Amino acid sequence: MKKLSLNIISLLIAFPLVLTIEAQSVNEDFLNGIPDDVMQDIIGNQDEGTYDEDIYISDESKIKKTSSELKKLVRDAKRLEQKFNNGVEQSSILSRYGSDIFNTFQTTFMPINEPNLDQSYIVDVGDGLRIQILGSINIDKKLKVMRDGSINLPEVGKLTVAGLELSEVNSMIKKIIEDSFLGNTAFVTLTDIRNIKVYILGNVPNPGMYTLNGNSNLIHAISVAGGINDNGSYRDIELKRSGKLIGSSDLYSTLIFGDTSSNYPLRSGDVVLVKSSKRLVSISGAVSRPAIYELKGDEKLENLIDMAGGLTGDFLDDHVNISTAQSKKISKVTSGSFKSYKLLHNDSISVPFFKPEVIKTKTATVSGSVNFPGEYNISENETLVSLISKAGGYKKNAYPYAGILTRKNAFKTMENFRKKELGSLIKYLISGSNGAQSKAGMMTADSTSELLEEIRNHIAWDAGRFSIEFDLDKITRDPSKDTGIIDGDTVHIPEFSNEVYIFGELNGPGVRSYTPGASVHEYIDIAGGISQNAFESGIILINPDGQTKLVSKSTLLNFLSTDEGLDVYPHSIIFVPRDIARLDSLTKGTYIAQIVSSSIFPLLTLMSINKKNND
């Protein structure tokens, strides 16, 4: 592991650590105008990409930066080493069986004086009883059990109740009242529980004398002392009273087999002594409860497997592997020898098992104008045609030409790329290009926010969308156009509507009715014409199938120019972008030319232009 750490550190140190930046006069308004989420993107990606120009910093700064970077790398390597070690250790360490049970108890050193309604409760000195006599005489009295173990009921006299169960006390008093007073009966209830002082000693984390309530039992006592420590026995716990052994408790009887007979009730002055464990063995693999178990007497391997909940259904073969600590050998013990095989202290049993690989079901989602939209299981050779068939085919009002196929991995890749480009643009604006003055120094906070919003509008389109053929008749004629479907794909078939969407820098943007044969400029005229902030050379037409084309010729981006007269279909989108040069005092030609020539700003208008765009 040490070699791994050194290799990691050496590799990281070899990576260039010096990132330099030229001193620039950056307008504070520009920095203040950058939204928080954009700034975080820039900071998070500050090490991605490189600058073309040479940038210099002082030797002293280089030393300080290298030193801080080295310290950070050392810390990261240590965290990686710790995480690796923890993963290995946690997967191989087993805990003592029964240790978790005491973590569920609410422990306290203070007495809990809540009445007990259990009729098996043993009444003793300090308990409070309520005696009600109903009939010709009506008596309702609360009495304490005195130090001699009795209560004094004036109508009857002194009655000894200590050491009796609550049900026995109730029966005794009821019989005495009914025999002494004809037509009367009695009821006895417990109102207060006495406090008892118990010594909890031996292999517990916090041995000592504890004040408990009179209803406490042996497990309660051990829990308030913190449970049983690593050397303690769960199977040999003695209860002593007045110097005499009352019994020995085996907690496995309670925890594994549900037998509570050895979970003795406690009395004041009792001593709970947790003895030391003697034979611990671990078992893992194809058993229900892998753990470290304590064996006693002549218990064999078969008893251990029963304690561990038995073999599971994925038990492989007919043997187990036993590693003996004393000889450091691994032996195979067949199932026929489980009954007779005696285990030694610190033996480790591995039960071989087979875990079948869980294969995730691959699914794709179909929504929109299909007969049965929903999520469908798909096969390895699933295609668009077969998926649409599962969804019951298209409805009559479906518009396959505007169908959309989105893919998760494409969406993530596109999002990451766009974040990088946005960060690169901000860096460009801050640092300038080829020694030129920072663009940020010429912009205000308001114009910066507008610029970034404009950029986001441009880069938010068609994330993860695939332009494919959705016309089933065309696919039938040419099966090569049938697109394969993979896990996580989403297909949406919109309903047909006779509408065209006109957005952006227009005097009346919105949705307009489709007019067959109308051109882009005619639709713009319908929308009230372009506004004064429009970028006329960047008007974009997005067809329903996702293909995007630049409409107007641009004097700066003439290599993307196309002829007018482009076809507009129902569901087409016409977008008129804003001229960013008018956001401030920048000149449009100089600003855009510098950005495009630096290859920093391909997303402003180019990202929405499909590579399949016709010249």
At residue 342, does pLDDT exceed 50?
yes
Tokens representing 324 are 């003996």
Residue in 183, 186, 177 with CA at minimum distance from that of residue 131? 186
Tell me how far CA of residue 390 lies from CA of 124, 368, 395, 477, 492, in angstroms: 76, 14, 13, 20, 14
Q: What does the pLDDT read at residue 555?
A: 31
Domains of the chain: 2-91 (no CATH), 101-106+196-276 (3.10.560.10), 128-192 (3.30.1950.10), 280-351 (3.10.560.10), 365-597 (3.10.560.10)
More confident residue, 575 or 97: 97
Q: What does the pLDDT read at residue 94?
A: 87
* Mean pLDDT, residues 454-483: 75
Q: pLDDT band at 291, cuts 50/70/90? A: very high
Tokens representing 41 are 């993107």
Q: pLDDT band at 540, cuts 50/70/90? A: confident
Three-class SS state of 85: helix
* Mean pLDDT, residues 500-528: 88
297: left (phi over 0), alpha (psi -120 to 50) or beta: left
Which residues are within 8 A (CB) of 605 and not within 5 positions of it... i.e. 6 or more apart? Answer: 458, 535, 538, 540, 550, 557, 577
Q: What does the pLDDT read at residue 54?
A: 40
At residue 161, does pLDDT exceed 60?
yes
* Mean pLDDT, residues 222-231: 91
Neighbour count for residue 560 (Cβ, 10 Å) = 17
Q: What does the pLDDT read at residue 490?
A: 92
At residue 599, does pLDDT exceed 50?
no
Which residues are within 8 A (CB) of 389 and not within 5 positions of it... i.e. 6 or more apart? Answer: none
Between the ranges 21-25, 393-397, 544-548, where is the mean pLDDT highest? 393-397
**pLDDT by residue (tens digit) across 174-191?**
999 888 888 889 999 888
At residue 43, does pLDDT exceed 60?
no
Query: Which percentage of the chain shows pLDDT scores above 90?
Result: 35
CA–CA dist 370, 249 (Å, integer): 69
β partners of residue 239 = 247, 272
Between the ranges 40-54, 272-286, 446-460, where is the mean pLDDT highest? 272-286
CA–CA dist 193, 99 (Å, integer): 29
CA–CA dist 190, 193 (Å, integer): 7
User: Kind and range of the H or E element at 163?
Assistant: none
From edge to edge, which strands make up the β-sheet containing 319-324? 291-294, 280-285, 348-351, 319-324, 329-334
Residue in 350, 354, 470, 356 with CA at minimum distance from that of residue 405? 470
Q: What does the pLDDT read at residue 72?
A: 56
Q: What does the pLDDT read at residue 110?
A: 45
**pLDDT by residue (tens digit) across 201-219?**
999 999 999 998 888 899 9
More confident residue, 317 or 260: 260
More confident residue, 80 or 609: 80
* Mean pLDDT, residues 453-466: 53
Q: What does the pLDDT read at residue 420?
A: 63
DSSP state of 242: T
What backbone torsions phi and psi does residue 144 show, to the nearest 5 degrees? -100, 140
Which residues are within 8 A (CB) of 467 and not within 5 positions of it... i.e. 6 or more apart? Answer: 545, 546, 547, 610, 612
**pLDDT by residue (tens digit) across 546-589?**
788 887 544 333 434 444 557 889 988 888 887 765 544 443 33
Q: What does the pLDDT read at residue 392?
A: 94
Q: What does the pLDDT read at residue 243?
A: 92
Beta strand 271-276 with 404-406: parallel, antiparallel or unpaired?
unpaired
At residue 375, does pLDDT exceed 90?
yes
Least confident of 373-382, 391-400, 523-532: 523-532
* Mean pLDDT, residues 238-247: 94
More confident residue, 427 or 377: 377
At residue 430, does pLDDT exceed 70?
no
CA–CA dist 492, 565 (Å, integer): 29
Predicted TM-score of the model (pTM): 0.47
At residue 221, does pLDDT exceed 60?
yes
Report long-range pairs for 527-530 (Cβ below 8 Å, ≥24 apart). 527/502, 530/505, 530/506, 530/576
More confident residue, 435 or 374: 374
Q: What does the pLDDT read at residue 473?
A: 93
At residue 354, does pLDDT exceed 70?
yes
Q: What does the pLDDT read at residue 361?
A: 87
Query: Which percentage of the chain shows pLDDT scores above 70?
Result: 65
Q: pLDDT band at 537, cuts 50/70/90? A: confident
